[in-house]
Amino acid sequence: MLKSSSLASPKPCICKVPNYLRQVNEKAYEPQLISIGPYHRGKHHLKAMEERKIGFLQQLVEETMVMNASKYVMKMRELETQARKCYEQPLCLDSDEFVKMLLLDGCFIVQLIRLCLKKDLVNYYTNGYFLALIQDILLVENQLPFFVIWELFSVIETGVNQGMFIEAVFDMFFHRVPGKGRPKHDLISVTSEIKHLLDFTYHHCCHPSSSEMEALNETRNFDMNFIRCALELQESGIKFETIEGYSMFDIRFENNTLLIPKLNVDDYTESFLRNLIAFEQLFVADRDVKHASDYMMLMDSLIDSPKDVEILCQHGIINNMLGDDKAVAAMINSLGIYVCHSHNFYYSGVFEDVNKHCSKRWNIWMANLKHNYFNSPWSLISLMAAILLLLLTVLQTVLSVLSYYQ
């Protein structure tokens, strides 16, 4: 169970993105519709949603048939001291303002969770406004402590247990998180470890399958020998296939084939990945695996040009919903800027096996042949013409020899 009493002295778990990451694409870390928590509160372009928050609170009071919101206010006031400790930067909000923020932001999120509980969000999953809202709720700087959301929810929905709560939160983000993800019952078992909603999705994404665990146990020393891009790997005889892994990070190299789960690339993908990576860079120790950061290092190695994106799209590994291979390549390449991979690089075994394949003499010869003679129709035509000319020359020589002896 997630109990606030177990978090008497919580460590800071919600902080601002460091400038060295932010400067690459500042917009990716900024909410577009709604502020959650103190860091973006009061910004002019987000003020319209403050009225919606009040409306959600009023709706909540009416639906739960309580006389007023004082019961919820009291609960938030009880959690104020603990909640403040979750924010790394000093907060300028006084007690009343901070409690008001917890209440309004918390009730807004709780109402979304209640809609998931009733399965009323199904029709929203393809709604652009709703998807943008969910994206804002998954920003590093736009968070409430997870225990605040649970405590508020448990006061409002007295007949709902924690398992049902976790399942509803799971459903809220299911369509935004790549891969099957962690089983719901497994998420329930680690609830006390979850810091906030972005951390919830991180736990969801980073649940390793049995094959991933085997790969992790076999993690080898990584000597920074990057793998080649998709085009060059294809020329070396490596195939690409999409697989349905438990997570987007479940990548394997088997029988000369790179098996990679599908990545849907849309208008929200960059922001989601950047915030996942930023959270990991801030809170995952160097000695531990940084799944998202290592994943981006692998994808950055595979993609050097729009042609690489085209190859991965042809094999179903990338679903390019942007419609522009050049834009996808630029996005993937920029995601790894200033990002540190883990000391125990997650894909060290994959990199080593791929590089071993590419270093074999036959594969090098085939790669050079394909690159020099089969990379365009004109090269192929020139090669065929040269072969035909050679055959005709040989034939002419043979005929000349035969005619001489006759």
**pLDDT tens-digit profile of 188-237?**
777 788 999 999 999 888 765 555 555 555 555 556 678 999 999 998 88
Residue listed under structure tokens 């990716």: 28
Residue 308, pLDDT > 80, answer yes
Residues 6+ apart with CB under 8 A from 241: 257, 258, 259, 260, 315, 316
Per-residue pLDDT tens over the stretch 100-124 = 999 999 999 999 998 887 766 556 6
Residue 312, pLDDT > 90, answer yes
Ramachandran assignment for 326, one of left (phi > 0), alpha (psi -120 to 50 degrees), beta (any other): alpha
What type of residue sits at position 163?
G
Q: Burial of 65 by CB count in 10 Å (0-12 exposed, 13-18 middle, 19+ buried)?
A: exposed
Token representation of residue 352:
């080593």
Query: What is the pTM (predicted TM-score) of this model?
Result: 0.84
CA torsion sign, 17 to 19 to 25 to 31? positive
Mean pLDDT, rounded, for 278-288: 87
Share of the chain above pLDDT 70, in %: 80
Distance, CA of 357 to CA of 348 (rounded, Å): 14
**CA 221, 224, 230, 235: dihedral to nearest 10 degrees?**
-90
Ramachandran assignment for 237, one of left (phi > 0), alpha (psi -120 to 50 degrees), beta (any other): left
Average pLDDT, the chain: 84
Residue listed under structure tokens 């035509």: 381
**Which pLDDT band, with edges at 50, 70 and 90, does 47 fall under?**
very high
CB 356 within 8 A of CB 237: no
Share of the chain residues as helix, strand and coil, in percent rounded to the nearest 5 = 60, 5, 35
Per-residue pLDDT tens over the stretch 161-180 = 888 898 888 888 877 777 66
